[in-house]
Amino acid sequence: RWSFRYQNGIPGTIGLMDVNDDGVDELIVGGEVMSNRAECRLLKADGSLLQEMEVEGWTSRMTAQARSEVDGKWVAFGANFRRNLHFIEVQPQAAQPLQERWLQHLPGSTTALLIDAPNKHLLVGNSVGLFYCYGFEGEQLDRVAFAAEVSSIHRLESGFLVGLANGCAFWLRLEESGKVGTIELWQTSGDWGKAIPSGNNILLPTSQGLALQTLQDKVDDC
């Protein structure tokens, strides 16, 4: 139907969201292959460019993307270094709907993002094993250090499942303040970077095949 030349990189993440309230999803395209800069392009369904945002500069790449259409419209981007965490409010009536609220410079690369809009929390994982909870105004509410890179963050019933690159995972609950409450080791190891949420469950690739993870599977040795 159409093609679009994505300058300075190769598209690695493509998210769908109706950013301008016209009833048709736009494409939020992020580049994940190292280039001279990390860009996000917002494309209309007809392939035309609506907006372009620079995420980071020289030799950078986008490494994570999250979207939410609950209690407003929100987007978050991660990059491999320097300005590696961006929180964006979507303003449908603006000529450029993606409006950056704030950014952070975190250690390592931002590797996992989840927007918990009802509680106004942005959950962040990075390549040096740090898990953060930020408020929507950019304040850091809590931080936890894990033993390996955080490869994914998934909502699971009343908590969140944080998967690590070494195959382990932890289920944690957040208090209303954003502080981390309970942390419990998950019983199943696998490739959490490729895990897929399915309702209140998660599909996890393991050495034995694809495993359906539920909250009842919760804790054991990893």
pLDDT tens figures, 136-172? 999 999 999 999 999 999 999 889 999 999 999 999 9
Q: Is the pLDDT of residue 220 over 70?
A: no
% residues pLDDT > 70 (the chain) = 96
Lowest mean pLDDT of 2-11, 59-68, 193-202, name the range. 2-11
Neighbours of 97 (CB within 10 A): 22
Average pLDDT, the chain: 92
Say which residues have a Cβ less than 8 Å from residue 184's Cβ, sequence separation at least 6: 170, 171, 172, 218, 219
Overall average pLDDT of the 181-197 stretch: 93
Both tokens of 33, joined, read: 């292959």
Q: How many CA atoms lie within 13 A of 193 on its CB side?
A: 13
**CA dist., res. 143 & res. 79, Å (int):** 19
pLDDT band at residue 52 under the 50/70/90 scheme = very high
Residue 222 has pLDDT above 50, yes or no: no
Rounded Cα gap, residues 66 and 28, in angstroms: 10
Among 21, 109, 14, 145, residue whose Cα is nearest residue 67? 14
Q: What is the pTM of this model?
A: 0.92
Percentage of the chain beyond pLDDT 90 is 78
Number of H helices, E strands in the chain: 0, 19
Scored b (16 or more CB within 10 A) or e, 139-158 reads eebbebebeebbbbbbebee
pLDDT of 29: 93
pLDDT value of position 221: 41
**Cα 102 from Cα 96, distance rounded (Å):** 16
Q: What is the mean pLDDT of residues 173-187?
A: 94
What was the pLDDT predicted at 146? 97
At position 56, the amino acid (one-letter code) is E
C-alpha–C-alpha distance, residues 30 and 63, integer Å: 8
Whether 217 shows a pLDDT value over 70: the answer reads no
